[in-house]
Amino acid sequence: MVAAMAHTTTTSLAATPPRVALHGAGMISVAHAMAAQASGMRIVAVASRSGERARQLADELHAPAVHYDDLPGDGSDRADIVIVSTPPQCHAADAIRLLQAGAAVLLEKPLCRTLAEADVLVAAAAAHGQRLLYAENLAYSPVVQALLGRAPTLGALTHLEARTLQGLPTWGSFTTDEWGGGALFDLGVHPLAIALLCANACGAGAPVSVTARLVGGDGHGSDEWAEVILSYTDGLRARVETSWKAGPEPIWDVQLASATGVLRAELQPEVVLEHNGELVALPATTTAIAAIESGGYLGQLRAFADNITAGETPVMSASFGRRVLDVVCAAYRSAGRDGEPQSLPFEGARDRTPLELWRG
């Protein structure tokens, strides 16, 4: 299992901040762009499936709009880091092409659509100096890092629950078959990652099996609600819930309990950490746009820049992204078999998307 996330927010950068390009111009790209600018990094290019959207965002960032195939660029405008936020079905091919072209890649979640693609990404990351970061931004948020820093003091857990509950996004193609999965596949990877990190930090190790229930939405074949139970060898049963049927205000939180204490972190609608009911002071915001810092985008990009400079493997590596997808695939198969437990690591087909596994 991945090591517990260190309770250190990386703030140093290489002497010359890396140049950044956006491979995708959607809403998530804006958050990455703001994090880059807040870190003193220069945006050198913006590419998108939509030329109009690329030009609009490029104009706002004072950067040229280019085609995907133009990245990472060349000369003084060559990108050191390319942030890939295309749809999941494009992730593997996009990331591998850019790695082969010499760029470091920050790859948005979910990692990709199938475990076979994930295997290829893990191998490509290894072949190119581990210059690929799986963009689980919440792992780099101050509140989650503070949570993980205190989690080991609890000892063996008796309760672990993580939730991301909100409405269905009004943009993107999240509910199409091409996307590969619904709420659990896309939104649910956030609480799954946090649950995995928290359980490991408290000594539970990796889950050994998973059961799941999914509920579909109206007018499409994707899931809009999911409940996942992760079982551990020490008896812990961690619960993860994710939903696109909630709202209007989102609820993102995680709670840990043991015989000796309770930790509760809230990420939305407010950012709060409590230890045994007492508020824990969090670092003061250092940027004008608090959300890019509290959401982990700033820490994530700075940490990746330092990883690249030091030749280190990111904590949120391609291997960690594959581990999350492994749980996701097992959960969809469990839901498709009326909650039948599935062993972890997943033993099913590696060439099928989560939706295909759910439907059998």
Q: What is the pLDDT averaged over residues 183-194? A: 98
Does the pLDDT of residue 22 top 70, yes or no? yes
> How far from chain centre, in Å, is Cα 294?
15
CB atoms within 10 A of CB 348: 15
pLDDT at 131: 98
pTM: 0.95
Q: What is the pLDDT averaged over residues 314-340? A: 98
Does the pLDDT of residue 350 top 70, yes or no? yes
Does the pLDDT of residue 234 top 50, yes or no? yes
Q: What is the pLDDT averaged over residues 162-179? A: 95
Indicate the average pLDDT of the chain.
Answer: 95
Q: What is the pLDDT averaged over residues 302-322? A: 98
Query: What confidence tens digit (pLDDT) does each residue in 291-306 have?
Result: 999 999 999 999 999 9
Query: What confidence tens digit (pLDDT) does each residue in 26-78 have?
Result: 999 999 999 999 999 999 999 999 889 999 999 999 999 999 999 999 999 99
pLDDT at 14: 53
Residue 8 banded pLDDT, cuts 50, 70, 90:
very low
Q: What is the pLDDT averaged over residues 202-227? A: 97
Q: What is the pLDDT averaged over residues 106-110? A: 98
Does the pLDDT of residue 24 top 50, yes or no? yes
Does the pLDDT of residue 3 top 80, yes or no? no
Hey, which CATH number is domain 139-309+321-343, 3.40.718.10, 3.30.429.10, 3.30.360.10, 1.10.10.1590?
3.30.360.10
Pairwise CA distance, residues 37 & 293, whole Å? 12
Does the pLDDT of residue 275 top 80, yes or no? yes
pLDDT at 12: 42
Tell me 86's DSSP state. Answer: S
pLDDT at 138: 98
Contact 6, 315 (CB under 8 A): yes
CATH architecture designation of domain 19-137: 3-Layer(aba) Sandwich (3.40)
Percent of the chain with pLDDT over 90: 93
- The encoded tokens of residue 204 equal 């539970």
Q: What is the pLDDT averaged over residues 269-291? A: 96
Query: What confidence tens digit (pLDDT) does each residue in 111-164 have?
Result: 999 999 999 999 999 999 999 999 999 999 999 999 999 999 999 999 999 999
Does the pLDDT of residue 263 top 50, yes or no? yes
Pairwise CA distance, residues 125 & 274, whole Å? 37
Does the pLDDT of residue 13 top 50, yes or no? no
Residue 259 banded pLDDT, cuts 50, 70, 90:
very high
Backbone angles phi, psi at 107, to 5 degrees: -105, 120
Does the pLDDT of residue 4 top 60, yes or no? no
- In the chain, CATH 3.40.50.720 covers 19-137
Does the pLDDT of residue 1 top 60, yes or no? no
Pairwise CA distance, residues 158 & 184, whole Å? 24
Provide the Cα torsion 228, 253, 4, 274; round to 10°: -140
Does the pLDDT of residue 5 top 70, yes or no? no
Pairwise CA distance, residues 47 & 26, whole Å? 10
- In the chain, CATH 3.30.360.10 covers 139-309+321-343
Name 163's bridge partners.
241, 253
